[in-house]
Structure 1
Amino acid sequence: MPSSAQSTPPALNRVPDVTVDFWIIKLLAVTMGETAADYLAVNLGLGLSMTSVIMCALLAVALILQFAQKRYVPWAYWLAVVMISVVGTLVSDNLVDNFGVALQTTTIAFGIALAITFASWYASEKTLSIHTIFTTEREVFYWLAILFTFALGTSSGDLVAEQFSLGYLATGFIFGGIIALIAMGYYLFKLNGILAFWLAYIFTRPLGASFGDLLSQPREYGGLGFGTTATSLIFLAAIVFIVIYMTMSRRQAKHDVPALDVDSP
């Protein structure tokens, strides 16, 4: 008879591998998070408060679906990312616009909150690896860290683009340059992979948000004037296309795996 260790299926990682596809869709998601939040709050006239309530409720549903999978399922995972991207933007915008908190303060506060999350995660699990998210506790830490990276990225991006008056394009190039330095550190100077991942994850948020604002904001505010509606729809369509591609690729990969010969020694 097979042992219990042999009969128990291995735990599956609940988040995706870090590939080119991952970074592409992540940039699309954070860009859409910025423009979709503006579209709902401004163009639809819902206001920041009502938009925040609606999107927090949708995020809760998305996370329930994600946690129910117990493995990586592209549509569930990226739905949660898109929702948390929008909510992260709204958290920062609410503090700044509704409560008058300075962008410098929110940037520092979210940075501290993210550091506390990482410290608590490491103290509990002894790792910050994204390759071993196979327990509910680790997944809670993971998504909490993701939320704070989005909020931090929104605040820091707005701080550089608006408070420092550098504009959206220059801000995008600044954060793009930082990401390039992180990649160089990883590939050329053996920067720790987990550290490199989380640094890149943090800085892709203001990079995507800056280019989202560049595309959607009116020309008088330094944008290209495409509007939040068109920009959001374009990026949403791109996300849906890539998620479908990811899903089909995973199914094909599973289909191509040869069956085990149970009669072989």
Structure 2
Amino acid sequence: MSQQTFSGEGTLNRVPRVTADFWLIKLMAVTMGETAADYLAVNMGFGLTVTSIFMSAVLIAALVLQFAQKRYVPWSYWLAVVLISVVGTLVTDNLVDNFGVALETTTIAFTAALAVTFAVWYAFEKTLSIHSIFTFRREAFYWLAILFTFALGTAAGDLVAEAFGFGYLTTAIIFGAVIALIAAGYYFLGVNSILAFWLAYIFTRPLGASFGDLLSQPLEYGGLGLGTIVTSLIFLAVIVATVIYMTIRHEPETAKISVGEAFKS
């Protein structure tokens, strides 16, 4: 990396600060990812295959736009998050519904894929911190990890709610309790901040997916019967409002890097 990159715009972090509104919009995005995927594939009648191909193409375009920013821009970042949430849901649904892969298998497989992603990321970068996403390679690792957290969360949420028979409400309570324990570990027991962040990020996905299913699924399937359209629009409205708020108050965050990192090739 050149000295110009160290001293100039290249040190701007490309992902947002972890704040209360970050977690709010993240939860909204993962919930909408679940309901929007169901709406496109089922209600619109496109089917999983066509929906997956189309949404993957849209996601690639959004990521190209996001990488081109070379800094955190609220609307492009959260657009990519919403789309990767939809695609992550579709990946799991395709494996389960089209290829007959058991939810237990997909949960284990995506856990392993995420673990490998973190291991390779750390091997190359010596950190998993989201406060120093300032190069193409780090951002690529970041988005790959995000994709696997969404696919894993969908599989784990469906596994607990459907295969294990706990239902959507109980499943949401279970994962909400897990997140509360992670937060308590961070604030009161000194759990490493990076570990706590990624654990919370992983578990907000099944929490959001279960909550989305609870709201959208028919009463006979254990839901509240709002439907995928209404549920998706509610969460989309919250996402848009939060992004507007983020854009108004946004201040760029400088990536936290050492002098050694700044001159690393």
- Shared fold (TM-score greater than 0.5)? yes
Measured after TM superposition, the shift of residue 60 of structure 1 is 0.3
1:93-108 equivalences under 5 Å are 93-108=93-108
| 1:38-74 deviation digits (Å, cap 9, x = unpaired) | 0000000000000000100010011001000000000
Q: Which runs of 5+ in 2 are unaligned?
A: 254-265
Q: Distance in 1 between matches of 2:72 and 2:6?
A: 22
Kindly tell me: are residues 193 and 46 of structure 1, through their superposed partners in 2, closer, same or farther at Cα, counting changes over 3 Å?
A: same
More contact order relative to length (CA 8 Å, sep ≥ 6): 2
Aligned AA (2:172): G
Matched-pair identity in %: 74
Report the structure number with the largest CA radius of gyration: 1
Measured after TM superposition, the shift of residue 206 of structure 1 is 0.3
Kindly tell me: are residues 126 and 45 of structure 1, through their superposed partners in 2, closer, same or farther at Cα, counting changes over 3 Å?
A: same
1:110-259 equivalences under 5 Å are 110-250=110-250
| 1:67-106 deviation digits (Å, cap 9, x = unpaired) | 0000000000000000000000000000000000000000
Kindly tell me: are residues 222 and 138 of structure 1, through their superposed partners in 2, closer, same or farther at Cα, counting changes over 3 Å?
A: same
In angstroms, what is the RMSD of aligned CA positions?
Answer: 1.6
1:20-31 equivalences under 5 Å are 20-31=20-31
Aligned AA (1:166): F
Measured after TM superposition, the shift of residue 250 of structure 1 is 1.6
Kindly tell me: are residues 189 and 47 of structure 1, through their superposed partners in 2, closer, same or farther at Cα, counting changes over 3 Å?
A: same
Q: Which runs of 5+ in 1 are unaligned?
A: 255-265
Q: Distance in 1 between matches of 2:60 and 2:145?
A: 16
Q: Distance in 1 between matches of 2:213 and 2:8?
A: 49
Aligned AA (1:235): F
Aligned AA (2:151): A
Instruction: Report the secondary structure of 2:250's partner residue.
Output: helix
- Equivalent in the alignment of 1:257: none
Q: Distance in 2 between matches of 1:249 and 1:140?
A: 27
- Equivalent in the alignment of 1:263: none
| Maintained 8 Å contact 2:10/2:70 | no
Instruction: Report the secondary structure of 2:66's partner residue.
Output: helix
TM-score, structure 2 length as denominator?
0.92
Q: Distance in 2 between matches of 1:147 and 1:195?
A: 18
> How many residues matched?
251
Kindly tell me: are residues 80 and 96 of structure 1, through their superposed partners in 2, closer, same or farther at Cα, counting changes over 3 Å?
A: same
Measured after TM superposition, the shift of residue 8 of structure 1 is 3.9
Measured after TM superposition, the shift of residue 17 of structure 1 is 0.3
Q: Distance in 1 between matches of 2:186 and 2:99?
A: 39
Kindly tell me: are residues 247 and 219 of structure 1, through their superposed partners in 2, closer, same or farther at Cα, counting changes over 3 Å?
A: same
Instruction: Report the secondary structure of 2:132's partner residue.
Output: coil
